[in-house]
Every structure is written in C-alpha cells, then in structure tokens.
Amino acid sequence: MPAESEPGTAAQQDRRRRILDATVELASEGGFDAVQMRAVADRASVALGTLYRYFPSKVHLLVTALARELERANDAFERKPLAAPTAQDRVLHVLNRITRSLRKEPSLTEALTRAFMFADASASAETRAVVAQVHRMLLRAMRDPAAEAPSEPTGEQRAVAQVIGDVWLATLVQWVTGRATAADVGRSLEVAVGLLLRPSADR
Amino acid sequence: MPAESEPGTAAQQDRRRRILDATVELASEGGFDAVQMRAVADRASVALGTLYRYFPSKVHLLVTALARELERANDAFERKPLAAPTAQDRVLHVLNRITRSLRKEPSLTEALTRAFMFADASASAETRAVVAQVHRMLLRAMRDPAAEAPSEPTGEQRAVAQVIGDVWLATLVQWVTGRATAADVGRSLEVAVGLLLRPSADR
DNA sequence: GCATCGACTGAAACGTGTTCCTATTATGCA
DNA sequence: TGCATAATAGGAACACGTTTCAGTCGATGC
C-alpha cells in the first residue's frame, strides 16, 4: 500500500510540479510582476483555467511556492548537524545561510516575500505552512544537538522563535522594499538574536 | 512670512485632504479591495487623472494615509504624559492603546497594513515615513519621562524599538491575514516586550 | 482686458488577474 | 468495449489599476 500523501494521479502531480517550477522560474527572472498567470500557464504547458483549478489566485500560487522552497531548505538543513556550541550561534548560522541564498536570488525573494505579505485571509492555510517551516527551522537550531532525546521545545523557546521569525520577515520586507540592504538584514537579525538569546543560558 | 511646510495652493491642499479622507472612509467601509481608485476620485470630487497626479499609485495613496493616521495618533499621545514607572509598562501601554483602536476599525487596519506590506521600492519614501512615526512613538515611551532633558536615545534603545516595531508589524499581518486574533496580537507584543525590556534596568 | 501656462476634467484605452463557457480529452465503471 | 463523469484546453469576457489625451478652467504677467 503506497503511503503517498500527495493526492491526485501522477499526471496531476506532474502538472502541479510544472506549475510551481514555472512560477519559481518566472519569479527568479523578473520578480513578482513577471509572475503573470498567463505566462505561468504557458510555461507549465497548462491552460489558464487549469492553473486556476490548481491554485485559486496568484497569491496562493506564490505562497505555495514559498512553502515548497522552505521545505526543501529545511530538508537540506536537517541532513547536516549544527555544531555551534550555543543556541545563539546556531540560530545565527542558519539565518546567515538563508540570507546568503536569498541575496543570490533577489527577484525570487522579492516575489515570494511580497506575495506572503500581501496574502489575505483566504490564503491562511498556505501562509500557515510557511510559518510552520520557519518555526521548524528556528526551533531545530535552538535545540541543543548534544542532547540525546530531541525534547519538546519549551514555551519560551517557542516565543523566542516566534519573535525571531517576526523580525526575520519584517527585515526581509525592508530589504525587498529598498529600505534596507542585505547587509542590514544580517545586522538586524544579529541584534535581535543577541537581545533574545543571551549566550549565558542556553535556552 | 508663512512658515507653512505644506506645498501648493489652498485649493490643492484641500484636494489632497479630500483624497486622503475619501481613502480612509472607503478603507473603513470595505478594506483594501473597496479602496478603488475610481471610487476614491469620485468621493473626493476629483478626476481620476488628478488623483494619479497627487498619488502615483494605490499603494502610495494608502501608505500616505497610514502615515497621516499615525502622525495624528502620535500628536494625540504627546499631549498626555506617560505615568507608568518602567519602560516596559509605558511601551505596553502605548501598544495596547493602538491595538485597541485598530481592533475598532478592522477594515481600515486591513487596508493600511496590506498596502504597507505590499509596497515596493518606489514607495520607500512613504514607507519610511510610517516607520519613522512608529519609532517616534516607541522611543518616546521608552524614554524616562521623569528625566529633565529629553536625552537622545541610546543605540540599544533604537535597536529595541526597531525589533518591537518589526514584531508589531509582523503580528499585525498575522491578524489581518486571519492567522491570529486581535487578542493574540496583544499577547505576542507583551511577550516580545517582556523579552526585550526586562524591568530590572530601565533601559 | 488679454494672452499664456499649468492644473483639472472627462473619458477612452490598455494590461493583467480572474471568471466563465464550450469543445475535447482522459478516467473509471458496468 | 462502450459509457458516464470529471478534468483540461482554448479563448472570450469582465474588473480594476494605470496611462493617455483633448478640451476647459483659473491664475499670473503684460
């Protein structure tokens, strides 16, 4: 019995993958404005109506693509151990890695970030998936990798992860909107992490 | 000699005010989607082309309206002293007041917040004005009102104000997008302020 | 008073997100 | 295999943000 969680036939899964791939390609090339629904449909070899059957709006489409990208990044992260001794160092390491890859793809970052920020309540399922991936990433970095059993995060850890995630998104918006440079993003995150994760207690 | 900083003739200033008033009215009634450029022009008794002469896009228009609302709120705040003994209490007091008024106008909040978050680099002057108002509000609350000379904020104070502002915007987005309730917004802010402004030192 | 110049009006037109409709194709079932 | 149903293709149509333009109005200088 196949334990696949993916719904639909193989052809449908392939259409969905093609659509998301086309979305990321167009976003990488020209940012939010270049992700035009007709262009996505064309590049994915799918009719416009079919695109709307799979994703009910441009925002749903882009936020879903963001969730998929974060999921991939998380899976890649989890294959490597985090060696740094303190939670602060580990969190900063992870954040710096992500920031570096965002800097390499500014148009893609702009497209995905603006879609996430513009999403309304109808896309809350998709935005929640994105937030869940961010928390997964941060909580893993905060957890002590030396501990044997991966314990449940404490309430304070969750709160700190939430705040760091908020700061991350806010600074990302500042970068995308031209109010801060990529270097500023890194600095802001370091400041926030420094304020929130004092190295004294490895909380 | 008039030291007016407002540019343009009286008629132009009046048109500009009518446009922003119409924007806030429509936003209060139906949120972001109800702020349609033709509707704004009609209600402000102005031609569509004139509206675009004053504000080059819907986002510019809404973010400018947000800056004006925040400016008004700040002016009102500054007429009352902040009596609470600690910076933490004063900041939470101010944030709670704002949150309460946002809760009373959910459609307006949705419209202004989404516009701010969706703004691209071409509106960075307008978004910067909004950020400046938020920082002004937070730094005033963090400052010790008992001190005689209103001293310049320290670097750490600025950093903390920045982080709190980031968290505020991020939680606002969560509320607007239906991922959190208004009560959650208050709680998140309390947690963040608690983490960032320990009552021990009145920093 | 009159000419000039910039701002405003009213309306048409365009681009892109979104919806809708019909013909065609794929899929599962008797 | 043949049929019923759903999914897809192709494309027209609509809504709203945005642009453009010809004509009108009002202030300013002569």
Tell me if A188 and B160 make a contact (CB, 8 A cut-off). Answer: no
Distance A38 CA to C23 C1' (A): 21
B203 band by pLDDT with thresholds 50, 70 and 90: very low
Residue in the block written with tokens 């004139």: B50
For residue B32, what pLDDT is reported?
A: 98
| Neighbour tally for B136: CB within 10 Å | 16
**Could you give the percent of chain A with pLDDT greater than 70?**
95
Residue of B nearest to A130 (CA): B179
Can you read off the two tokens belonging to residue B134? 């938020």
The angle formed by the CA atoms of residues A48, B176 and B51, to the nearest 5 degrees, is 75
**Residue A99 to residue A77: CA distance in whole angstroms:** 14
Q: How far is B18 from chain A (nearest CA, A)?
A: 27
- How far is Cα A64 from Cα A55, in angstroms, rounded to an integer? 9
**For residues A193 and A95, is the Cβ–Cβ distance under 8 A?**
yes
Q: Give me the mean pLDDT over the B52-75 stretch.
A: 97
What is residue A1's predicted lDDT score, i.e. its pLDDT?
38
- Rg of chain B on CA atoms, in Å: 18
**Distance in angstroms, CA of B50 to C1' of C4?**
22
pLDDT tens-place string over residues B97-154: 999 999 999 999 999 999 999 999 999 999 999 999 999 999 999 987 777 777 788 8
Q: Quick one: pLDDT band at residue B5, thresholds 50, 70, 90?
A: low
| B128 contacts on A by Cβ (under 8 Å) | 179
Query: Integer distance in angstroms from CA B47 to C1' D24?
Result: 13
Q: Which residues touch strand D (CB under 7 A)?
A: A 11-12, 15, 45-50, 53-54; B 9, 11, 33, 35-38, 48-49, 52, 56-59
Residue A12 in this model has a pLDDT that exceeds 70: yes
Question: Does pLDDT of A7 surpass 80?
Answer: no
pLDDT the model gives residue B6: 72
The answer to whether the C-beta of A36 is closer than 7 A to strand C is: yes
A192–B124: do the CB atoms touch at under 8 Å? Answer: no
Average of per-residue pLDDT across A113-124: 94
**Which residue of A162, A179, A192 is in closest CB contact with B127?**
A179
CB of B12 nearer than 7 A to strand C? yes
Instruction: Output the distance from A174 CA to C18 C1' rounded to whole Å.
Output: 30
Asked if B177 lies within 8 A of A131 by C-beta distance, the reply is: no
User: How many CB atoms neighbour CB B201 within 10 A?
Assistant: 8
Look up residue A35 and give its amino acid.
V
Residue pair B124/A178 in contact by the 8 Å Cβ criterion: yes
pLDDT beyond 90 at A8: no
**Has residue B37 got a pLDDT over 60?**
yes
Q: Which residue has the tokens 């939430």?
A: A162
